[in-house]
Chains A and B, each alone.
Chain A
Amino acid sequence: MAERVFAGKLERAGFTGVWVGGHRPFGIEEAAMYPLFTPEVIELMRRTIPPDHQDHVATGVIVKARKPER
């Protein structure tokens, strides 16, 4: 999900003051630390994602928002 899509979904749900920060790159080597990513999918990612993008496949973010007061 793209950052703008995430923010849009929050706004459509009724949240206000959407803030996105704390950006950090998430690459294949980091994904490999998680047992949920099988060795097969890590290998698939290494094979299909261009080498210059492999250290930033996704971005870790913090998303904050608020439910309006009545």
Chain B
Amino acid sequence: MARDLMFQHEIKAAVREAYAAISTGGGESVARRLYTHEELSEVPAGCIEWALGVGNPVRYALLQPGETVLDIGSGGGIDTILAARRVGPEGMAVGLDILEEMCERGRSHAAQAGVESWARFLLGEMEDIPLPDESVDVAISNGVLNLSARKSRALAEIFRVLRPGGRICMADLTVEGELPPEVANDQSAWAG
């Protein structure tokens, strides 16, 4: 049922509730649209089952061995684990998610992928990232910034944790023009 979302805390709660309620991600139908066969062979099946992104930021991020990568809204960990593969054990991939169950899922998938020594998952919000200033080389995200009711605050936080010269590479959806108001205000549309 549609419900107007007028307040930031309502939007945050709606997003958290929507992600906590799902029992699977987009699965192969989503993953195969975004990732190559080779990329999908680098991650456990659970990552594919939990694919919820809208693009492939790792492909564009030009990650280098030894870099520290922050994956904002890491979900089942598909991009965190692909990033960990690219930066190698001399680097670090950090997944950040607002749900502990997603962090647990990411840790389990990282262990299955054999990258758990350099892929960690932190509970936290993109508007208040639990990392020190200038501690990250590259920030990636996949369909996540649009979920924030405080996008400018989230971008300021990403800017804070990036080292000087650090990069951001985000996949997201843009909308030109207006969606019908009943769609734009629906909590499921916002969370999706």
Contact = CB atoms under 8 A, between A and B. Distances in A.
Contacts of A2: 174-176
B164 A70 contact: yes
Interface stretch (B88-96, B97-105, B120-128, B181-189): B181-189
A1 B167 contact: no
A49 B183 contact: yes
**B145, B158, B164, B173: most-surrounded residue (chain A CB, <10 A):** B173
Contacts of B40: none
Interface residues of A, number: 42
Interface string B7-24: 000000000001100111
A1 B169 contact: no
Nearest to B153: A13
Interface in A15-70: 15, 21-22, 24, 26, 30-31, 33-38, 40-41, 44-45, 48-49, 57-70
A22 B18 CA distance: 28
Given A6-B172, A38-B188, A58-B174, A68 B164 contact: yes
Contact of A13 (B54, B156, B171): B156
Interface residues of B, number: 52
Contacts, number: 140
**A34, A44, A49: most-surrounded residue (chain B CB, <10 A):** A34
Interface string B153-179: 001101100111111111111111001
B168 A15 contact: yes
Interface string B119-159: 00000000000000000000000000110000110011011
Interface of A: 1-3, 6, 9-10, 12-15, 21-22, 24, 26, 30-31, 33-38, 40-41, 44-45, 48-49, 57-70
